Structure 1
């Protein structure tokens, strides 16, 4: 999970990595810090719960 840095090239890098590594999950959160667990705890928890439900 990422909230910073916000750049298209950073997102593209992770999307390409995901395409080659299906075990990798990339989520962009709408936060304002490098610490989405602190900045957006509900969104982080929801993403983790959703991930665990797919396993």
Structure 2
């Protein structure tokens, strides 16, 4: 739907596509933050509890 039928989308579908495309950068940052957090937990780093270290200015 995002590529082939883009010219034939309804108004609702167009709004949904725009919302998904707009959220992608934040979703990527969130995924990266979770990956960092999980690696800290798996490696039992003391810094895992420091949210400013983990998330910084991501959100």
TM-score normalised by structure 2 residue count: 0.33
User: Which protein is bigger by CA-based radius of gyration?
Assistant: 2
TM-score normalised by structure 1 residue count: 0.35
Higher RCO, 1 vs 2 (CA within 8 Å, ≥6 residues apart): 1
